[in-house]
C-alpha cells in the first residue's frame, strides 16, 4: 500500500461487515485512523485493525437518529482526531416487494436509513470538515441508482436520490474544500446480497440459485464484484488521486452500467 490516506480520520457507517468493513480495512492499510459507526458491534473488524497497529474505534450509531449521529461524530473526533473522511455506506436492501404490496412503513424505513441517514451524517461531518478547511465524503450508492429493478422500488428510489444528494452536496461544500463523490457497486457477495436474493427468490417464485446465477451473469464480465474492488475505488475517491473530482459517481459493475 502507498499511504494515500496517511493522517486522515475516517468514519465509516455500516462498517461492521460487508463492503463497509472492506473499506475500513483498505483505508487503514492506506494510513487512515478508523471509526466504525454501526447499529451492531464491530469487535471482529476492530480486533483485526488494532492487531495491525491501526488506531480504530467503534461508535454506536443509528444513522437515522440525529442525536446518535452527532454524538458518534463527537466521540470519534475526541478519540482519533477530527473526522475528515466520511463513507456513507450503511443501508438496507429491503423491502423486496412490488409497488402494489408496498406498505408505507416499509417504504419509509428504507428511505430513512438509505437516504435520510446519508444526509444526517453528511450534515454532522461537514461541521468538523468546514472547521478544518478540508474534507472528503464517499457515498456508497448502487448500480440501481442508474436503472430500475422490479420489486425493489424503495431501495432503487433511495439510491437514485443518493446520487442527486451527492451532486447537491458537492456544489454546497466545494467552497469549503470538501469533495463529495459516489461509488455505484454491482452485486457483491455480502450478507446484504444473500438476504435480498433470498427475498427475490421467494417473491418471484424462483430458486435462490436461479436468482444468483441471473445476477452473477447479468454484467458483461459475468461475475460478482469483489469487496476489495469497491474498497480500492473508494480509496481513489477519498485520496488526492481524484483531487479534481467532485459530484461524480463511479460505476463498479463489471460493465453492467455504462452511463
Binding residues for ligand NAD, rule: CB under 6 A, are 13-14, 16-20, 38-40, 61-64, 89-92, 113, 117, 140, 142, 185, 187-188, 190-193
- Closer CB to ligand NAD, 74 or 176, in the complex: 74
Whether the CA torsion 221, 224, 46, 166 is positive or negative: it is positive
Q: Which is nearer to ligand NAD, 54 or 61 (CB)?
A: 61
Least distance to ligand NAD, CB of residue 42, Å: 8
Do 70 and 45 meet the contact criterion of CB atoms below 8 Å apart? no
Exposed/middle/buried for 31, CB within 10 Å: 0-12, 13-18, 19+?
Answer: middle
CB neighbourhood size of 99 (10 A): 10
Residue nearest to ligand NAD (CB): 18
4 among known catalytic residues: no
3-state secondary structure of 179: strand
161 vs 151: CA distance, rounded Å: 17
178 contacts 245 by C-beta, under 8 angstroms: no
Comparing CB distances to ligand NAD, the nearer of 124 and 140 is 140
Residues 237 and 135: beta-carbon distance below 8 Å = no
Given 4, 58, 155, 173, the catalytic residue: 155
Measured from the CB atom, is 9 or 61 closer to ligand NAD?
61
The nearest distance, CB 37 to ligand NAD, in angstroms, is: 6
Alpha helix locations (H) across the chain?
18-29, 43-51, 66-80, 104-111, 117-132, 153-173, 191-204, 208-216, 227-238
Shortest CB 178 distance to ligand NAD, Å: 20
Q: Which CB sits closer to ligand NAD, 8 or 192?
A: 192
For the CB of residue 66, give the shortest distance to ligand NAD in the complex, in Å: 12
| Min dist. Cβ of residue 150 to ligand NAD (A) | 16
Give bridge partners of residue 136 from the DSSP assignment.
Answer: 85, 179
- 58 a catalytic residue: no
What are the residue numbers of the active site? Answer: 155, 159
Amino acid at each position: 500500500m502507498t499511504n494515500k490516506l496517511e493522517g486522515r480520520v475516517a468514519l465509516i457507517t455500516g462498517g461492521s461487515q460487508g463492503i463497509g468493513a472492506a473499506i475500513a480495512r483498505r483505508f487503514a492499510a492506506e494510513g487512515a485512523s478508523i471509526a466504525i459507526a454501526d447499529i451492531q458491534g464491530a469487535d471482529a473488524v476492530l480486533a483485526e485493525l488494532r492487531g495491525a497497529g491501526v488506531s480504530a474505534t467503534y461508535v454506536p450509531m443509528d444513522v437515522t437518529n440525529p442525536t446518535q449521529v452527532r454524538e458518534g461524530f463527537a466521540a470519534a473526533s475526541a478519540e482519533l482526531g477530527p473526522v475528515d473522511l466520511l463513507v456513507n455506506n450503511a443501508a438496507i436492501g429491503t423491502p423486496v416487494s412490488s409497488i402494489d404490496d408496498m406498505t408505507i412503513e416499509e417504504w419509509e424505513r428504507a428511505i430513512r436509513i438509505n437516504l435520510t441517514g446519508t444526509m444526517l451524517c453528511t450534515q454532522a461531518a461537514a461541521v468538523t470538515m468546514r472547521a478544518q478547511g478540508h474534507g472528503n465524503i464517499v457515498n456508497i450508492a448502487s448500480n440501481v441508482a442508474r436503472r430500475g429493478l422490479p420489486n425493489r422500488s424503495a431501495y432503487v428510489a433511495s439510491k437514485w436520490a443518493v446520487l442527486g444528494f451527492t451532486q447537491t452536496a458537492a456544489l454546497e461544500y466545494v467552497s469549503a474544500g470538501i469533495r463529495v463523490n459516489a461509488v455505484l457497486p454491482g452485486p457483491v457477495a455480502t450478507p446484504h446480497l444473500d438476504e435480498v436474493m433470498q427475498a427475490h427468490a421467494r417473491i418471484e417464485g424462483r430458486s435462490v440459485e436461479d436468482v444468483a446465477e441471473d445476477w452473477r451473469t447479468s454484467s458483461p464480465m459475468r461475475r460478482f464484484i469483489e469487496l476489495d474492488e469497491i474498497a480500492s475505488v473508494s480509496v481513489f475517491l477519498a485520496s488526492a488521486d481524484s483531487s479534481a473530482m467532485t459530484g461524480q459517481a463511479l460505476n463498479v459493475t463489471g460493465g453492467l452500467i455504462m452511463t
